[in-house]
Structure 1
């Protein structure tokens, strides 16, 4: 009996729900906290359109990575695949991009968590940031399954606090505010271009694609876990956008934008229009859970990437080396040079176009040129799909740099 039970236990496959929760948790931290401020210019309709378009493209681009990875061992990541398919120069640039995007996202979460705890618990922000990294990163150091379990718990906490907090907001939604009726001459579409880099980062789960493939042992289940995760994220984003934009007038985002979209400023501004203290607390709990879940999700992807890049062993000593390279640099930078959340996410979004759109498209096209490239897992749609993903990534990067040069309209409040 013991032998049979052990055999069944060891052959049990991971659930799609767990994988979807990992993908969703990677996404929602940046999205939930960054999209309201970044979308204040394009407002309700154009923000939702931009977010939905981005979700579709980013889901497909993750599938393109799976298609390229099918030729390799289950434990490889960007480094091995890109080096073999696209050469050392492209691989070097891609490695820099992967680490930069992952690092700056971790940096943004560490800084934001410290600011939130400073306001809610009275802790000094730097002390809170150090404690946050020490506790949260230990989950990533332990194992992918630990991240799975913690992600499910955090998603449950986010859903409960989200339901309670958003319900308190939805009952106060004013359609005139939601549709910005007071501003009859308002312009919205022109601000959507500046939103795309933030929206792209809000679906930036691609650090975890290789982890998902290794977790399930094949591409098809990983595909559906990715789709489930991005759908969960999109649903939460739309509900959140409707709740925030239906409660907080467009001009009220001026002070938040002036502080580079810092999360603590957004929460304080939102708290000023929420009459119920319990609702305000629920929103704060949600924000903390969102940052924590994204931190461990992104951390897992970067952790696996670093282990593959430097060939660190999966022993305790090897995982400790990987931990140092993954988490110590963003923590130090957060302590020395804290700056605005939206500013950090914007830079991450521009750089992320390389690893989330450009490289996946190039890898998929290269994969199909191989002798067995048309066998096994493939994304339908022919060459149109990778070229469309490539074009979206290039356009998004251009929009970010045009915004930084003040060549695109930016909403100031």
Structure 2
């Protein structure tokens, strides 16, 4: 009898996809909203994004086990919506891989004293090989990375937690006591922090059915939420709100955040642990996002699972983000915000529309179904629409923007 894949492995894949963007983007994006409102934002986002992933599973259950967004969306919603959705999926996947590649290049370049471009190329060539090899390889390395992240995370958190100042954590020294008004700017980054949806099809492939994939998704988003909450408490309890100004001025770049933390933490070991943890978070998300985009492109272009077919998919998955990383600098939080705005299409709108259409076509179906009826579907759509509107308003300068 064939051994069933573990829920822990699948949960770690989902968590690893989420954690990179959130760990590195949320502190700077949440500096305005600060501790309480940031926790409210990420908890609400986690709930909505978990449900929207389940809605995707509900729609996918009527298709071949290797089917992804492209197959289901084209069949249920038509070519025009499918084209928009495919563009959004590819854009967000590319922009995240681009962000992770550039961030890793900056960190590795500092550690090894080499060019950031050379570091980025080495990073992509070495770690994308796991994705090229198989989903099983990604699952195994994800478990290792999550374990590695936990160890470095615990070490850095334990070091920072010893120095948490409640006055800093709850911003009692600040002259700006407005927090809720900065929530709208935070939500696009929070949404990206739970943007695992391109891996839903991969989970279904991995388990061969929907209910185990559902549990793995919930396990993964809960792990991510736990990481985020502890991370925000530790950073917001050590780095005063007004000291985020230079980090925000540099676009929330990861190296700027790490340098700011190093300046306020009086421990070389803890500072090194934070750097190691940040690198593990980037790596785990790079591999997880890469797997989701890889499976999506393989389905879209109908590349087979041979070495030649997987090599073609590899080129389309990793080469464009690498070239962008080598040519253009970026502000990490700004890029993640763009990804969040566009991601609302395929993390909220499309899953809700797919589930609604699937229920219309299979009204008597007794298979996998998300609870809550039409209310659940429309709430997910509304959340996605609001997040997209908030980002557009922020780009136009119509929302309060905390500058430190």
TM-score under structure 2 normalisation?
Answer: 0.99
Matched residue count? 404
Alignment partner of 1:161 out of 152, 155, 168:
152
Distance of 1:342 and 1:220 partners within structure 2: 34
Deviation (angstroms), 1:323: 0.2
Where does residue 277 of structure 2 map in the other structure?
Answer: 286
Q: How does 1:221-236 map to 2 (within 5 A)?
A: 221-236=212-227
Alignment partner of 1:394 out of 374, 385, 389:
385
Distance of 1:410 and 1:58 partners within structure 2: 25
Distance of 1:183 and 1:284 partners within structure 2: 28
> Kindly tell me: are residues 373 and 173 of structure 1, through their superposed partners in 2, closer, same or farther at Cα, counting changes over 3 Å?
farther
Distance of 1:184 and 1:373 partners within structure 2: 59
Distance of 1:329 and 1:373 partners within structure 2: 44
Alignment partner of 1:270 out of 244, 247, 261:
261
Alignment partner of 2:134 out of 135, 140, 143:
143
Alignment partner of 2:342 out of 344, 351, 355:
351
For the pair 1:112 / 2:103, whether they are aligned, the reply is yes
Deviation (angstroms), 1:184: 5.4
Q: How does 1:148-297 map to 2 (within 5 A)?
A: 148-183=139-174, 185-297=176-288
Deviation (angstroms), 1:374: 3.3
Q: How does 1:25-104 map to 2 (within 5 A)?
A: 25-104=16-95
Query: Is the contact made by 1:367 and 1:373 (CA closer than 8 Å) also made in structure 2?
Result: no
- Superposed CA RMSD: 0.8
Unaligned runs of 5+ in 1: 1-7
Deviation (angstroms), 1:186: 1.1
Q: Deviations along 1:122-148, whole A, 9 cap, x unmatched?
A: 121000000000001000000000000
Where does residue 364 of structure 1 map in the other structure?
Answer: 355
Distance of 2:279 and 2:176 partners within structure 1: 37
Q: Point out 4+ residue stretches in structure 1 off by more than 4 angstroms.
A: none
| Secondary structure, counterpart of 1:41 in structure 2 | coil
Deviation (angstroms), 1:40: 0.1
TM-score under structure 1 normalisation?
Answer: 0.97
Query: Is the contact made by 2:174 and 2:241 (CA closer than 8 Å) also made in structure 1?
Result: no
Query: Is the contact made by 2:174 and 2:242 (CA closer than 8 Å) also made in structure 1?
Result: no
Query: Is the contact made by 1:119 and 1:264 (CA closer than 8 Å) also made in structure 2?
Result: no
Where does residue 22 of structure 1 map in the other structure?
Answer: 13
Where does residue 4 of structure 1 map in the other structure?
Answer: none
Distance of 2:180 and 2:334 partners within structure 1: 21
